[in-house]
Chain A
Amino acid sequence: MGQPRIDTSPAVSDEVRKTTCYMCACRCGIDVHMKVGPDGEKRVAYIEGNRDHPVNRGVLCAKGSAGIMQHNAPSRLRAPLKRVGPRGSGEFEEISWDEAMQIATDWLEPLRETAPEKLAFFTGRDQSQSFTSFWAQNFGTPNYAAHGGFCSVNMAAAGIYTMGGAFWEFGQPDWDHTKLFMIFGVAEDHDSNPIKMGLGKIKARGAKVIGVNPIRTGYNAIADDWVGITPGTDGLFILSLVHELLRAGKIDLDYLARYTNAPVLVNGDPKLPEHGLFLRNESDKPLVMDRDTGKLTPFDQPGVKPDLAATYRRAGNTHRTVMHHLAERYLDSRYAPDAVAKTCGVPAAKIRRIAAEIAHVAFEQAIEIDQPWTDFRGERHETMKGRPVSFHAMRGISAHSNGFQTARALHVLQILLGSVETPGGFRFKPPYPKPATAHPKPHCKVTPGKPLDGPHLGFVQGPDDLALRDDGTPARIDKAFTWENPMSAHGLMHMVISNAHAGDPYRIDTLFMYMANMAWNSSMNTRGVMEMLTDTDASGNYVIPRIIYSDAYSSEMVAYADLVLPDTTYLERHDCISLLDRPISEADAAADAIRWPVVEPDRDVRCFQLVLCDLGARLCLPGFVNEDGSQKYADYADYITHHERRPGIGPLAGWRMGETGLTGGRGGVNEAQIDSYIANGGFWTAHIPEEGQYYKPWNTAYQDWAVEIGLYDAPAPYLFQLYVEPLRRFQLAAEGHGQRQPPDYLRERIKATLDPLPIWYAPLEDGHVDPEAFPVHALTQRPMAMYHSWGSQNAWLRQIHGHNPLYLPTNLWQRHGFAEGDWARVTSAHGEITVPVAHMAALNENTVWTWNAIGKRKGAWALDKDAPEATKGFLLNHLIHELLPPKGDGLRWANSDPITGQAAWFDLRVKIEKAAAPDEAHPVFQPQISPVGEGPDELRWKIGS
Chain B
Amino acid sequence: MTQLPESTERKLGLVIDLDTCVGCHACVIACKGWNTEHYGAPLSDQDPYGAEPSGTFLNRIHSYEVQPETGPAQLVHFPKSCLHCEDAPCVTVCPTGASYKRTEDGIVLVNETDCIGCGLCAWACPYGAREMDRAEGVMKKCTLCVDRIYNENLPEIDRTPACVRTCPAGARHFGDLGDPRSDVSRLVAERGGMDLMPEQGTKPVNKYLPPRPKDRLDQETDILAPLLAPVAEDAKGFLGWLDRTLERLPGPANRPSEPRRDKRGER
Contacts and interface: CB of A to CB of B under 8 A. Distances in A.
Direct contact of A and B (CB under 8 A): yes
Contacts of B192: none
A247 B232 contact: yes
A319 B55 CA distance: 70
Contact of A4 (B19, B73, B100, B263): B100
B227 A249 contact: no
A225 B214 contact: yes
B20 A61 contact: no
A226 B26 contact: no
A315 interface: no
B215 A3 contact: no
A868 B151 contact: no
Contacts of A49: 165-166
Contact of B234 (A51, A254, A331, A939): A331
A355 B228 contact: yes
Interface stretch (A374-382, A623-631, A753-761): A374-382
A544 B114 CA distance: 64
A854 B220 CA distance: 41
B231 to A, nearest CB: 4
Contacts of A367: 266-267
Interface in A175-206: 177, 188, 192-193, 196-197, 199-201, 203-204, 206
Contacts of A842: 65, 72-75
B168 interface: yes
Looking at chain B's contact residues, is the secondary structure mostly helix, strand, loop, or mixed? loop
B159 to A, nearest CB: 10
Nearest to A1: B1
A538 to B, nearest CB: 42
A441 to B, nearest CB: 34
Given A225-B218, A244-B228, A352-B227, A200 B20 contact: yes
Contacts of A253: 242, 245-246, 249
Contact of B267 (A221, A368, A784): A368
A599 interface: no
A798 B57 CA distance: 13
Contacts of B254: 292, 302-305, 379
Contact of B109 (A6, A200, A369): A6
A932 B227 CA distance: 63
Contact of B49 (A61, A303, A863): A863
A221 B77 CA distance: 8
B34 A784 contact: no
Interface string A294-337: 00000000111101110000000000000110011001100000
Contacts, number: 360
Contact of A216 (B17, B72, B102, B216): B72
Contact of B51 (A2, A307, A379, A868): A868
Given A200-B168, A249-B241, A795 B24 contact: no
Interface stretch (A40-48, A658-666, A876-884, A902-910): A40-48
A677 B52 CA distance: 43
Contacts of B242: 253, 308-309, 323, 327
Interface of B: 1, 17, 19-26, 28-30, 32-34, 36-38, 41-42, 44-55, 57, 63, 65, 67, 72-77, 97, 100, 102-103, 109, 111, 114, 135-136, 146-147, 149-154, 157-158, 162, 165-171, 211-212, 214-218, 220, 225-235, 238-239, 241-243, 245-246, 249-250, 252-254, 256-257, 259-261, 263-267
26 contacts: A1-B1, A8-B150, A12-B153, A45-B37, A51-B157, A56-B168, A65-B30, A68-B33, A196-B24, A203-B19, A216-B75, A217-B63, A221-B74, A221-B75, A228-B72, A244-B228, A249-B241, A352-B227, A354-B217, A356-B226, A369-B265, A379-B253, A383-B261, A842-B74, A934-B49, A939-B48
Interface of A: 1-4, 6-12, 33, 35, 45-49, 51, 56, 58-66, 68, 74, 177, 188, 192-193, 196-197, 199-201, 203-204, 206, 210, 216-226, 228, 244-250, 253-254, 257-258, 291-292, 302-305, 307-309, 323-324, 327-328, 331-332, 350, 352-357, 359-360, 367-370, 377, 379-383, 423, 784-785, 793, 795-800, 802, 840-842, 862-864, 866-868, 871, 934-944
Given A60-B30, A65-B29, A307-B246, 9 more contacts: A4-B114, A46-B33, A48-B30, A192-B168, A196-B168, A217-B63, A253-B249, A327-B239, A939-B48
A-B pairs with lowest CB-CB distance, top 6: A303-B254, A935-B49, A196-B168, A841-B73, A248-B228, A795-B48
